[in-house]
Structures are given as C-alpha cells and as structure tokens.
Chain A
C-alpha cells in the first residue's frame, strides 16, 4: 500500500502506526491515501469518530470524496500537530464561568498553521473541517477568515473574497435604511 504522508508526519510515526495498526487510512477525492492516528481522528472529528465506532473504516482507504488531497493533507497535519501540542491553561479552565466566550483563542501553533495557508487552501480546509465535524479546526479557520474581514468596508470585503455585488442601488439603500443602527459613522 502506497501511503502519501502528510507533511507533519515523521518517519517514526509511520513505523509506530504500522506496528500498532492504530491508524486509519483516508482517501482523498483524487485518490491519494493519508494515515492518521485513530485516537486523534476520533477525538477531533465527530464524523470520523462515528465511522470508527460504526466499523465503516476501510483498511484500503476510507473514501472522502468531498475532500481534495491538499485539504486532506492539511487535516491530517492538523491532527498530528494537535496530538503533539500541550493544551494551554485556557483550554482546560473551569467550566462554570461568567460569560466567557465559548471560543478559545487559537494557540500559537494553530495561528501559524492557518497563517501559512493560501487563500484557496484556507477555504478548502474550512469545508473539509465542516464536512468532517472538526469543531476546533472549523473554529480556528473561521477565526482566521473573520480576521480578514475585521475593520474593512463592504467594498474591501468584496474585494478580498471576490464577492459579486448583485444588489441594485435601490436595494442597497433600502437595506441601509432598514439596518441603520449598523451603518452609523463613529
């Protein structure tokens, strides 16, 4: 079986994985195979956890037709990095709190992880994370996208994301009126 490993995978990881058979093999839409630790996959992805529990994992590569090889490589890379990182105090803080944001700020390594992605790769990863039910990865990638929107005018946002403005002038004016509370000049 030929395995195209994720960038973050070390040779030892592969050996250990093969010895213990403690990994799952995932197959991208373009037919490439990736191995990821069963434990990390089950912990980070609700969909993979369900498949592992339900026995629908294929030893020859579980088909993930919706996910391209580049995005799947990033998913696997994230799982490996996540398994190796020590959770910060923020992530293990007390559950009873007053109005703490449910979202925990990205860790330094998570920030770097998403910062190195190209625009297209970032969106592919968002979709993959959403498809696989990877809540944390989805949050981290969405946080990155929100940072790309923050403080920008609608025109600037359209430019960054290639959004085509299909409103008429009248419609725009109507919305500005309707949501006047949001369109104030501070």
Chain B
C-alpha cells in the first residue's frame, strides 16, 4: 500500500497547528529527552514545546572510557533538569535516569530533589556499578527527600539511603510501589518510613539491600496497605530481625537471604510464602506452602516447632557443590527434624549434595515416624511419593522387613543404585507403585555394572531417561503398564512384557533401539 509519510503531504505544515497537548504526546514518544528538546530549534512555535513533556528519560548504557565524558553526560542531565525546572509548565509524570557507572552523591541528591518537587508519578534512578570499580572517594550516602506525589520509586544507587527522620513532616502519600536495589539502609529509618509515612504502599521489594544499624539492625514493617513483599539477597552478619506486620499481605517471598530472622504477627490471607532463609514464621494464620531452605543460613532457633505446626509442606534446599559446607547444613536439618513434632506433613523435600549417605539415612529414619514420606532403607507405610536426587551417591535399600505400603511414586535421579536391591523393593515391597522414573541412574551390583529387571504388578507409568548404563539387559514385566517413555539408548536385547502397553511387539522393539524417542503412548 502506498504511503506518503516521508514527504510532506500537500505541502502544508500540519504539525505546527496541533495543540501543545498533542505535541507533548508526540515528543514523549521520542526515546530521550535530549532528542525531544532538539525540536526547540525547528521554529519559534517549537521553542518551548519540549518543556511541557510529562516524561523525562536519560539513558547512558555504555560506560564511557574517560571520566570527563561521564562528567559531560551527567552535566547534560543536570542541565536538562534545571532547564526543565526553570521553564516547564507541567509536572513530570515520569523521570528515568539510567547510567552504567557510578554517580557522585551530590548529583543523585539533585535528581532526588527534582523528583520531590516536580515529579507526579514514576521515578527510576539507576547507577549500576561493578564491585571492582571505585568511582568516587566520598561518602556514598544520599538522603531521600519526601516525595509526596511520587507513585512508584525504583532506586538502584549502590550507596547508603537515608530516609526522613522521625521529626520530619510529610509523607510519601501517593507511593504505591517501592523497589530498593543494591544499597544500605538503616533498619530503623526505613522501618519507620514504611510504617508511618507510606499509607498507600502496596508493593515493596528489597533486593541486595544491606540493613545496618546500631546497636541492633532490626527492620519492622507495619503496614496496613502492603500487599506484596519481596526480599531478595539481604545479607546480614548479625541476625537482622525482620518484623512484618501486614494484615493485607497477599504475596511474600524471600530468596537467598542470610541472617534474617523473620517474625510476623498478622497475615491472614497469605497464599504463597517462599523463603530461602531459615525464617521463623511465628504467627501466620494460614500458610499453604512454606519453603525453608538451609542455604548457608546461620540460624536454627527454638521456634521451629511453632513454625511447622501450621505448615503442611517442608522443603530444605541447598544450592552449591562444596561438600564441606553442607556438613553443618545437614546438621541443622537434623536438628530441625529432631525438634519437630508435627502430626502430618504432606511433603518433605530435602535437596542438597550429601557429604555422606548416612545423613540421608537419618532423615529417612526421621521421616518414617511423623511424616508420610519414607524410611526407604527399611520400608515405610505412609509415604506416597519418594524422590531421590542422589548427586552421584549410591542408594542402598536395606534388606530389612517392612513395605512401602502407600507408595505410588518413586523417582531416582543422578546416582548409582544397586539393581538387585531395587528389583527386590519394586517386586515385593511396593504393592501400590504406579509411577517409576529413573533418570541418569547407573545400575550396579557386586561392584560392577548390571542390568535391571523391573517386575511390578501395579506399575502404570515408567520413564527412563538421560545417561543410563545397562550392562546386561533391561527387563520389564508390568501387566498394568500403560505409559512408557524411554528417552535414552537401550540395548537391543531389552525385553518388555506389558500387555496393556501394546499388542505389537515390533513397535516396542523399535522404541528400544531408538535414541531420544519422545513420549510413546499405547
């Protein structure tokens, strides 16, 4: 279709006749404020149009090589802001400054001052620095002025942020969302600001923020409006107590935090809680799921019993590969389990590399009594699902008596399994097993690789995938098997007896010999 946009139509100047409001919308769509401002030299009509743009945006993605170029760029931002302040006819609805290098405190303070006086909307200030860059030899500290009309504030400034003192008047009345990334805050200052000066705050995110204060670094958030709370990677060396008292909270997540003790008083409707610290949830009335990961945490406190009393699912996760560090973590899990007296837990999840398999044995033993999980080594009557992620260790099943009466799902990944023991468990000690998943498992027996023979009268679903080694053949004898997904190379001599799966044995042998066969269903 022919369009004629790059030539001037009938030759008349339409754009100059547009009202200022419309020109502001047009200029606000230009990527930077500088570009919009350059329209001032088009004609007299355009001289001051740019001062009415409701959005200011400055972005310098690449850190320039020389500090004088950085200074030039920052000077331009400052000149633009003061030019705007001197001539503008409207409040700014959005101010965004993104620079990829450190910015001196005085400049950041000027940006914030501009926001507090003229901004009627969204603020984002980001000065991203890398830890090896030292950019200024100064205090790296900036005071956040009261911004009564700012609706959302996102600050990534990598310095200490001071919040208004108790004696100051005014409030962040319009503030709905606050996001602090990389920086230091005084727990008392931030807490009092959040609790008494942000009456409409709904969303709070603290990411890589260090809470400091003397003598104690506590942070208390009392908010009648807060709905979402996200705390990421808060690091403290001396057990910050985070008190959350937010009756309207709907979503709470805590990730990769160290040394945080969480206390709450009221949060009745909370649906989802994910915390990665060993957090102490004192009085959430209802929690549907709680993740308690032991990632390098330093706390396991007396309050565990109360925490667990309300929680149907428990999860311990540890991400890392240094086995020497997992030993104390394992110990804490042990303590936690030993201290726990919950009548029913729906799910117990422990994931970490194990320094010794005996740890696992202890957990499984613990699990056998209060948890419907399993005591795999000797059988357990109440576990319904067991997932083993072995991290390369050998899984052994005891010959002792006892059956996995309730077990319907068994998944084993990443490790070695004694094939005879597994065969015994599957054929005679899992009468209700419906689903078996084996991934990256090496089968051994008597110190050598071996085949595997699966016999189960109840098995309906079998998945085998990843790096699997069968020296000797794979046999499956499962009269009820309906679903089979072999996503690995199997030897030609594999043998399956599964009448429900397929009448055509040819089809089965095709599957056996194929590589990476996708899901195959009868």
Are B26 and A96 in contact, with the CB atoms below 8 A? no
**How far apart are the CA atoms of A149 and B21 in the complex, in Å?**
17
Contact assessment for A142 and B39 in the assembled complex, using a CB-CB cutoff below 8 Å: no
Answer yes or no: B35 CB below 8 A from chain A CBs. Answer: yes
Chain A interface size, under 10 / 10 to 19 / 20 to 34 / 35 or more: 35 or more
CB distance from A161 to the nearest CB of B (A): 4
- B65 at the binding interface (Cβ < 8 Å): no
B93 and A102 within 8 A (CB): yes
* CB-based contact B22/A120 at 8 Å: no
User: Does B22 lie within 8 Å of A143, measured CB to CB?
Assistant: no
Q: Mark B74-101, 1 if CB is under 8 A from A, else 0.
A: 0111111001000000000110100000
- Asked if B3 is at the interface of the complex by the 8 Å CB criterion, the answer is yes
The one of A130, A139, A158 in contact with B19, judged by C-beta atoms closer than 8 angstroms, is A130
- What mask results when residues 26 to 39 of chain B are scored 1 for a CB within 8 Å of chain A, else 0? 11111101110111
Expressed in whole angstroms, the Cα–Cα distance for A147 and B154 within the complex equals: 28
Chain B residues within 8 Å of A146, by CB? 26-30
Task: Decide if B152 is an interface residue (CB 8 Å cutoff).
Answer: yes
Chain B residues lying within 8 Å of A162, measured Cβ to Cβ, are 8-9, 11-14
Decide: B26 and A149 in contact? CB cutoff 8 A. Answer: yes
- Taking a contact as CB atoms under 8 Å apart, the answer to whether A157 and B96 are in contact is no
- Docked-complex contact B42 and A154, CB < 8 angstroms: yes
In the assembled complex, the CB of A144 is this many whole angstroms from the nearest CB of chain B, namely 8
Q: How far, in Å, is B88 (CB) from chain A's closest CB? A: 13
Residue of B15, B21, B39, B179 contacting most chain A CB atoms (<10 Å): B15
Assess the A96–B29 pair: CB atoms within 8 A.
Answer: no
Partner of A181, one of B5, B10, B14, B75: B75
**Are B42 and A165 in contact, CB atoms less than 8 angstroms apart?**
yes
A122 within 8 A of B: yes
Whole-angstrom distance between the alpha carbons of A165 and B262 in the complex?
Answer: 65
List which B50-84 residues lie within 8 A (CB) of chain A.
Answer: 72, 75-80, 83
| Cα–Cα distance between A161 and B152 once the two chains are bound (Å) | 37
Q: Whose C-beta in chain B lies nearest to the C-beta of A148?
A: B5
Query: For the complex, is A26 an interface residue (Cβ under 8 Å from B)?
Result: no
Contacts between chains A and B (CB distance < 8 A), count:
157
A96 touches B124 (CB 8 A): no
Cα distance, A157 to B10, chains bound together (Å): 16
Cβ–Cβ < 8 Å partners of B507 in chain A: none
Interface string of B209-232 (1 = CB under 8 A from A): 000000000000000000110000
In the assembled complex, the Cα of A149 lies from the Cα of B50 at a distance in Å of 14
**A residues less than 8 Å from B26 (CB atoms):** 142, 145-146, 149
Q: When the two chains form their complex, are residues B47 and A175 in contact, meaning their CB atoms are under 8 A apart?
A: yes
Q: A146-B30, A150-B31, A157-B42 are in contact. Are A181 and B79 (CB under 8 A)?
A: yes
**Complex CA distance for A146 and B96, rounded to whole angstroms:** 19
* Minimum CB distance partner of B38 in chain A: A182
B16 in contact (CB, < 8 A): yes
Counting from the closest, the 10 A-B pairs by CB-CB distance are A119-B9, A146-B29, A123-B14, A181-B76, A181-B79, A182-B37, A162-B8, A99-B124, A142-B25, A120-B9
25 example contacts (A-B, Cβ-Cβ < 8 A) are as follows A98-B122, A98-B152, A101-B94, A118-B9, A119-B5, A130-B19, A142-B29, A146-B27, A150-B31, A151-B35, A157-B42, A161-B14, A162-B11, A163-B13, A167-B41, A167-B44, A178-B83, A179-B40, A181-B34, A181-B79, A181-B80, A182-B38, A182-B40, A182-B80, A184-B34
Interface set of A (CB-CB < 8 Å, partner B): 96-99, 101-103, 115-120, 122-123, 126-127, 130, 138-139, 142-151, 154, 157-167, 172, 175-176, 178-184
Q: A149-B39, A167-B43, A184-B34 are in contact. List 16 more A-B contacts (CB 8 A).
A: A98-B152, A98-B154, A98-B177, A99-B152, A116-B3, A119-B9, A123-B14, A130-B19, A130-B21, A150-B31, A162-B13, A162-B14, A166-B44, A179-B83, A181-B80, A182-B37
